[in-house]
Amino acid sequence: MLDSIRVRLTLWYTLVLALVLIALTGVTYFMYRRNVAERTDSALTELADAFATTFRAELGEGHGVDAAKAAAREAMLEHRFRDTFFALLDSDRTLLLTSLDLGVGTTEHAYPDVFRSSSFRDFLQSAASNPEVLGRVHGGRGSFRSISRTVAAPGGSYVLIVLQSLHPQQELLESIRQTFYWAIPAALLLAGIGGYFLARKSLAPVTAMALQARHMGAASLHNRLAVANERDELGQLALSFNQLLERIEASFEQQRRFVADASHELRTPVAILRGETEVTLSRTDRSTEEYRQTLAILRDESQRLAHIIEDLFTLTRADAGQYPLTLRANYLDELAGEALVRARSLALAKNVTLTSSIESDLPIQADEALLGRMLLNLLDNAIKYSPPGSKVELSCRRDGENYVVSVSDHGPGIPPELQARIFERFFRADKARSRADGDAAGAGLGLAIALWIAEVHHGRLELTRSDPSGSVFSVILPASTNP
Ligand code: ADP
């Protein structure tokens, strides 16, 4: 149960609330109690003052115990209050008169013998040496706040005692305590239930997300989580989750298209291989020349197959970030020269003239094989799409912080509406012509690979110009390549 965030949240919330409520009610209760006690004391002092004044006035110049008792009687009658009791004692602390004798201020809380209780005697004892003392006296059924005051009169000095029953206050404080005893647990229970439902409601989107994510598979990647409020934290989580799904779906789609295109590209040479072999084997009386022709076709097609498989392998490893790059200090001018030599036979076969203008001393940190492959792909395309008798030029120069390698031809160019797509995998501007080129026909992967190679060297590959008079492809590589 404690594994549930809802329950843990609720428990924490209730615990913190309990601590706050207990601290708050405790402080309020004690402040209130102190305040009540202070008010009682000041009321008691005022009453004692008033009583003493009346007593003195009534006594006047009177002497003797009887005169004192009579004056005290008048004062007690004048100042009688419910729950308030008076006593007059002579200077020897002998009780002369109490309000209980007069039946004044009596309530059910008054303890009839309070003035004879041991607690009262103790109070008298402690008050003996002081003209005014505040204290507490306990009777059988309650406690009293008490004040003793020495009153000097012409006939001698007397001690006045006023007792105020604390019963009403204690009753009030008790009822406050009782209220707290049930109100705090009730408030906590309510807050706990409310908190639990709040936590459940707030976390409901998480539960829904988990459930949806659990049922999500490759076939349902297009599903998205519902976003209740995209500004709150859970909405943000759902949004991020949806964006992640979008990326996964896009990458799935890319992979699916890649596999479909790849199978499609592989199907054609395989079909040719099978068709050629079946036709040749359908008759037994073939001449050696016919067999040679078939074998030549088989060789070309298997070469094409090998080429496509090699390109596919390169791209899948590139996508997975697993292509082993071997970066070494090289010279771009040397790599360009080597690519020219390798392209020479292709140019010869197509009767295309290869020219070059290569600046010397262009040091570069590069993967020799990959950079060579990129240059050969560009030269191969330029030759492939050039009319016989035309010229293809490779130029290599430094341009500030970069090297610019350009391959230009006088081929038919790429239609403007297709130019943006030529770096896509398996894209061919003119499929019919590509196929008609026989063994030279590519699968539309050459530029995609060249682009990846440029990027992996922190450079870029772009089609600088392409119109019916020819095309120029340029590779821009940072001179201080430090991949
Ligand atoms: P392919 O193997 O078909 O040549 P690429 O990826 O190298 O594949 O090129 C993609 C497409 O771009 C080609 O099919 C072709 O239509 C077009 N293309 C590339 N280079 C040239 C060029 N020099 N002149 C004309 N078209 C080109």
Q: Which amino acid is at 235?
A: G
Stated pTM of the model: 0.62
Q: Are 300 and 437 in contact (CB under 8 A)?
A: no
What local confidence, expressed as pLDDT, does residue 140 receive? 62
Pocket test of ligand 1: the residue of 393, 408, 414, 467 to mutate, having most ligand atoms within 8 Å of its CB, is 414
368 CA → ligand 1 middle, Å: 23
Task: Please state, in angstroms and rounded to a whole number, the distance separating the CA atoms of residues 111 and 118.
Answer: 13
Question: Under the phi-then-psi rule, with left for phi > 0, alpha for psi from -120 to 50, and beta for the rest, what region is 472?
Answer: beta
Question: Residue 133 CB: number of other CB atoms within 10 A?
Answer: 17
CA dihedral of residues 138, 139, 141, 143 (deg, nearest 10) = -30
Testing ligand 1's pocket by substitution, the residue of 311, 379, 385, 425 carrying the most ligand atoms inside 8 A of its CB is 385
What is the whole-number distance in angstroms between the Cα of residue 272 and the centre of ligand 1? 23
Alpha carbon of 102 to those of 97, 143, 151, 160, 166: distances in Å? 9, 21, 21, 16, 21
- Residue 86, Cβ neighbours under 10 Å: how many? 28
Which ligand 1 atom lies nearest to the CA of residue 431? 14
Determine the atom of ligand 1 nearest the C-alpha atom of 470. Answer: 24
Q: Which residue is it, tokens 């390798």?
A: 342
- Rounded to whole angstroms, the Cα distance separating 191 from 107 reads 44
C-alpha atoms less than 13 angstroms from C-alpha of 48 in its C-beta half-sphere = 25
CA distance 238 to 216: 14
231-240 long-range Cβ contacts below 8 angstroms, 24+ apart:
234/202, 234/205, 234/206, 235/205, 237/206, 237/209, 238/205, 238/209
**Please, which contacts does 19-28 make with residues 24 or more away whose CB atoms are closer than 8 Å?**
21/184, 21/187, 21/188, 22/184, 25/180, 25/184
Q: Is the CB of 406 under 6 A from ligand 1?
A: no
Q: According to the model, what pLDDT value does residue 481 have?
A: 46
Query: Rounded CA gap, 28 and 33, in Å?
Result: 9
Give the distance (Å) from ligand 1 centre to CA of residue 427: 8
Q: Looking at ligand 1, which residue's alpha carbon is closest to its atom 16?
A: 429
Which pLDDT does position 483 carry in this prediction? 40
Residue 262 has, within 13 A of its CA and on its CB side, a CA count of 17
Q: Which atom of ligand 1 is nearest to the CA of 382?
A: 23
Q: State the CB neighbour count (10 A cutoff) for residue 409.
A: 26
**Chain CA centroid to CA 250, Å:** 25
Q: What is the pLDDT along the chain (483 residues), one digit of tens a residue?
A: 667 888 898 999 999 999 999 999 999 999 999 999 999 999 999 999 999 999 989 888 888 888 899 999 999 888 888 788 899 998 888 888 888 877 765 555 555 678 878 888 888 888 777 888 899 888 766 789 999 999 888 778 899 999 888 888 889 999 999 999 999 999 999 999 999 999 888 888 788 888 888 888 877 888 888 887 888 888 888 889 889 989 999 988 888 888 898 898 899 889 999 999 999 999 888 899 999 999 999 999 999 899 899 999 999 899 888 899 999 999 999 999 999 999 999 999 999 999 999 999 999 999 999 999 999 999 999 999 999 999 999 999 999 999 999 999 999 999 999 999 999 998 988 764 444 444 446 789 999 999 999 999 999 999 999 999 999 999 999 986 444
Which amino acid does the sequence have at 7? Answer: V
**3-state SS, residue 321:** coil
Helix residue ranges, H only, 230-331: 233-281, 288-319
State whether residue 130 is helix, strand or coil: coil
φ and ψ at residue 27, rounded to 5 degrees: -65, -45
Pairwise CA distance, residues 157 & 149, whole Å: 10
220-245: b (≥16 Cβ within 10 Å) or e = ebeeebebeeeeeebbeebeebbeeb
> What is the tally of helices (H) and strands (E) in the chain?
12, 12
How far is Cα of residue 443 from the mean position of the Cα atoms in its chain? 47
- What is the reported pLDDT for 107? 59
